[in-house]
Amino acid sequence: MTGEVVLRTSGLVKRFGALTAVDGLDLEVRRGEVVGLLGPNGAGKSTTIGMVLGLVRPTAGRAEVMGLDVATHRQEALAAVGAMLEVTTFYPYLSGRDNLAAIAILRGRGAQGRIDALLERLGLAQRARSKFRTYSLGMRQRLGVASTLLADPAVVILDEPANGLDPAGQREIRELIRELAQEDRAVLLASHLLHEVELVCDRVIVVKKGTVVTGGTIAEVTHRDSYFRIDVPDATRAAGLIRAVPGVREVRVLEGALDVVAEMDRGAELNRALSAAGIYASAIVPTASTLEDVFLELTEEERSAPAAS
């Protein structure tokens, strides 16, 4: 059912000795949406995914898939999950096809019957019988993505799926991720490729030192720090007028201009308020932040002193 929460973490904590890798992390992923999990190296993304998959034991908190606690009902919960981890690992002596077959046996539920279609879908059909050890990084990533879909999962977790892919490959993966969401699956995507995240995700969660520092739709996150640059002859007087406009959060007075922090749909109201007072702006320019701007600003401190994951 679209919108149903199928993956949830509540107060998830993981400590490795004195290091707190994840600190009370809450997240929800619903069917039909793609959620980006962002953060610098060591922010706790992979550890969080590890806890969701039951690979890493939480120090506190819980992870649920389809309403089932992963700690107590791991196998039932993971039956609904297809996951690709950051470092894609398969049996080097098996072919790509046999690697999928080995996992399909494990998965059951008709997984064997999906192998050929997935190899075709991920562009691996021609090299399906080649040994995994002969695969390029991009092919390994594709095989990893294929393996996540063997069990026809409701929840797909992808940790850096576009690593090593060329631009065309990255685009294919983006399209695939969108298709997965359209098929009413929930997708949790951890990636460093912010442009990719911006293009494919419905929501993002930015983590820093194991805690969520911001989250929301791409528009919400990027517009939070967006502003209007308004060129006016009398900036001080204009600032007084603008501050009274509903939705304006902050006004910074510059020489011959104003920076107005407000919702991006307030441009016309700002113009009207100034015009009504006989002040005519020569330019009102909305300046939206990119996801990269927001990410870099939020994680600046962490990037300068990265922690271990």
Partner 1 sequence: MLRLLRSEAFRLQRRWMPWVLLLIIAVGAVLVYLLIYTSVNAQLQAIRNGTIPDQPGTRTAIEQTVRQLRPDRVQAFGVSIVNGIGSIMLIVLAASHIGTEFGWGTLRTLLAHGASRSGFFVAKLATLLIFAAVFALVGVVASIAGSYLTAAIGGLETSPGVDLPAVASAAARGVFAFVPYMALAVVFAVWSRSAGAGIAAGLVAYFAESIVAGILVSLNRDFATVVNYGLSRNVASITRVTVGASVGPAEGGAGSVASTLPDQGQAALVLVTYTALFLALAWWRLRARDVTVS
- Tokens 């002969």, residue? 134
Instruction: Report residue 291: phi and psi, to 5°.
Output: -60, -35
If one asks whether residue 189 binds partner 1 (CB under 8 A), the answer comes out as no
Cα gap 50→159, rounded to integer Å: 10
The gap between the terminal CA atoms of the chain, to the nearest Å, is 34
* Only segment of 85-93, 181-189, 221-229, 258-266 that touches partner 1 (CB under 8 A): 85-93
Q: Which of 7, 37, 70, 85 contacts partner 1 by CB under 8 A? A: 85
Nearer to partner 1, 214 or 309 (CB): 309
Q: What three-state secondary structure class fits 118?
A: helix
Beta partners for residue 160, in sequence order: none
For the chain, give me the number of helices (H) and strands (E)? 11, 14
H/E element, 177 = helix 167-182
Minimum Å gap between C-beta 154 and partner 1 is: 13
Q: Which of 9, 46, 191, 299 contacts partner 1 by CB under 8 A? A: 46
If one asks whether residue 44 binds partner 1 (CB under 8 A), the answer comes out as no
Q: Which of 13, 55, 245, 264 contacts partner 1 by CB under 8 A? A: 55
Cα gap 71→54, rounded to integer Å: 7
Encoding tokens for residue 67?
A: 């309403």
Q: What three-state secondary structure class fits 213?
A: strand
Q: Which of 81, 145, 146, 258 contacts partner 1 by CB under 8 A? A: 81
Nearer to partner 1, 79 or 253 (CB): 79
Encoding tokens for residue 84?
A: 């690709």
Number of residues interacting with partner 1: please give it, by CB under 8 A: 38
If one asks whether residue 67 binds partner 1 (CB under 8 A), the answer comes out as no
If one asks whether residue 9 binds partner 1 (CB under 8 A), the answer comes out as no
If one asks whether residue 47 binds partner 1 (CB under 8 A), the answer comes out as yes
Q: Which of 91, 134, 283, 306 contacts partner 1 by CB under 8 A? A: 91
Interstrand relation of 68-69 and 60-65 (parallel, antiparallel or unpaired):
antiparallel
Query: Of residues 128-157, which lie at the interface with partner 1 (CB under 8 A)?
Result: 147, 150-151
If one asks whether residue 191 binds partner 1 (CB under 8 A), the answer comes out as no
- Tokens 């790509």, residue? 96
Minimum Å gap between C-beta 42 and partner 1 is: 10
Q: Which of 6, 29, 37, 53 contacts partner 1 by CB under 8 A? A: 53
Q: Are 150 and 82 in contact (CB under 8 A)?
A: yes
If one asks whether residue 12 binds partner 1 (CB under 8 A), the answer comes out as no
* Only segment of 2-10, 91-99, 191-199, 216-224 that touches partner 1 (CB under 8 A): 91-99
Q: Which of 68, 71, 102, 296 contacts partner 1 by CB under 8 A? A: 102
269: left (phi over 0), alpha (psi -120 to 50) or beta: alpha
Nearer to partner 1, 108 or 247 (CB): 108
- Tokens 């995914």, residue? 49
If one asks whether residue 108 binds partner 1 (CB under 8 A), the answer comes out as yes
- Give the closest residue to 309 by CA, choosing from 26, 85, 150, 61: 85
If one asks whether residue 98 binds partner 1 (CB under 8 A), the answer comes out as yes
CA 9 to chain centre: 15
Count how many residues are written for the chain. Answer: 309
The residue ranges that bind partner 1 (CB under 8 A) are 46-47, 49-50, 53-57, 74-75, 78-79, 81-83, 85-87, 89-94, 98, 101-103, 105-108, 147, 150-151, 159, 309
